[in-house]
Structure 1
Amino acid sequence: MKNLITVIITSFLLFTACEGPQGPPGRDGGLIVSPAFEIELDFTAGNNYEYFEPYGFNTYPADVTLVYILWEIVDGQEVWRLLPQTVQFEDGSLMYNFDFTRTDVRFFLDGTVNFNTLDSSWTRNQVFRVVVVPADNVGKQDFSDINVVMESYGITNFKKR
């Protein structure tokens, strides 16, 4: 009888579900895979105002790449904006934009302004952060705030390239 009670109690404890706080979203049956890196680059006539960066890691066909630009620093705080971002000038517009494949991300300038006449503050030493997220989560959260994205995907730093 003791053995039967022990088996029942042990079975009950093993098969009782525990519930705690919900973790960050991930792939069904898999780990969260959100590689991230930071890159500083120049847009010049020599590189046709674009830059290709290979990921250097594997991505899944449905993954989505997000790119943020360091827009300004206010009182020592970095302000990041999700691309694309557009700036209006008297003689036209400038857009920081990107596109991506499964193997790389391309950063580029677009718009109607003459890129050759832009002050170097718009084209040199531009800092971007890249995050690759599972497509399952696209549309389920606000990706405009880089801090929310970092928290959701456990990103504590961005490897500098």
Structure 2
Amino acid sequence: MKKIAYLLFALTFILTACEGDPGPPGFDGLDGLPADDFAARSFERTINFEYFSDTGLQESVVTLPTTILDRDAVLVYRLEGTVNVGGQPTDTWSPLPQNFFLEGSDIIQYIFNHTFADVELLIDGNFDLSTLESGFTQNQTFRIIVLPVENLNSVNISDMNEVMQTFNIDSFQ
């Protein structure tokens, strides 16, 4: 009987809560960074390159729809064409830089550079690029993806599908 009394006594203390006046509120914490600073952004553009004789390159500048941070990474993919996968037409994309070996020893390379406001797409080569056929310079579609660098450690950026899946990218502006 004593054991039951001790058990009931112990349960009474365990199951009852202390109540009283609430204490003073704590200090507010520091504001965090906006969530958009850590979100992947992506968009597609179809462009026409223009030859510039002062640089000897085919060039086009794409304005970014939002400014990016210095710590963001920019990835660019070029639309190669469409193939059938499981009976469905599927776009094929290649990451830049991308090389093409043309007739003889002629070579071109799609490359890019960027600032916080735009992406400059370039075609470089080892011959007079003013003579480059329009199939390489006109109506070229590029997919540009802006990623926060903090999230790139374990992502294979050469595989656009993995990048899109990792960062939950399902639409393009």
TM-score normalised by the shorter chain: which range applies?
0.7 to 0.9
Give the structure 1 partner of residue 50 of structure 2.
Answer: 44
Give the structure 2 partner of residue 82 of structure 1.
Answer: 95
Larger Rg: 2
Matches within 5 A, 1:11-160: 31=35, 32-45=38-51, 49-75=58-84, 76-89=89-102, 90-159=104-173
Report if aligned partners of 1:40, 1:128 keep a CA contact under 8 Å in 2: yes
Q: Shift of residue 77 of structure 1?
A: 1.8
Q: Which stretch shifts more, 121-130 or 51-60?
A: 51-60
Give the structure 2 partner of residue 25 of structure 1.
Answer: none
**Stretches of structure 1 lacking an aligned partner (at least 5 in a row):** 9-27
Report if aligned partners of 1:85, 1:95 keep a CA contact under 8 Å in 2: yes
Identity of aligned residues (%): 29
Q: Shift of residue 101 of structure 1?
A: 1.0
Q: Which stretch shifts more, 131-140 or 94-103?
A: 131-140
Check 1:4–1:94 CA distance in 2 against 1; reply closer, same or farther (3 A cut). Answer: same
Give the count of matched residue pairs.
Answer: 140
Tell me, in whole angstroms, the C-alpha distance in 2 between the residues paired with 1:139 and 1:113.
38
SS in structure 2 at match of 1:108: strand
Please give the per-residue CA displacement for 1:84-138, whole angstroms capped at 9, x wherever unaligned. Answer: 0000112411101101111111111112133222221111100000000011233
Report if aligned partners of 2:106, 2:126 keep a CA contact under 8 Å in 1: yes
SS in structure 2 at match of 1:49: strand
Report if aligned partners of 2:50, 2:60 keep a CA contact under 8 Å in 1: no
Tell me, in whole angstroms, the C-alpha distance in 1 between the residues paired with 2:13 and 2:139.
72
Give the structure 1 partner of residue 15 of structure 2.
Answer: 5
Report if aligned partners of 1:71, 1:81 keep a CA contact under 8 Å in 2: yes
Tell me, in whole angstroms, the C-alpha distance in 1 between the residues paired with 2:151 and 2:77.
18
**Stretches of structure 2 lacking an aligned partner (at least 5 in a row):** 1-10, 19-31
Q: Shift of residue 152 of structure 1?
A: 1.1
Tell me, in whole angstroms, the C-alpha distance in 2 between the residues paired with 1:149 and 1:46.
33
Cα RMSD (Å) of the superposition?
2.6
Report if aligned partners of 1:91, 1:113 keep a CA contact under 8 Å in 2: no
Check 1:3–1:52 CA distance in 2 against 1; reply closer, same or farther (3 A cut). Answer: farther
Check 1:135–1:2 CA distance in 2 against 1; reply closer, same or farther (3 A cut). Answer: same
Q: Shift of residue 46 of structure 1?
A: 6.1
Write the letter of the residue equivalent to 1:104.
D
Q: Shift of residue 6 of structure 1?
A: 6.8
Check 1:117–1:5 CA distance in 2 against 1; reply closer, same or farther (3 A cut). Answer: same
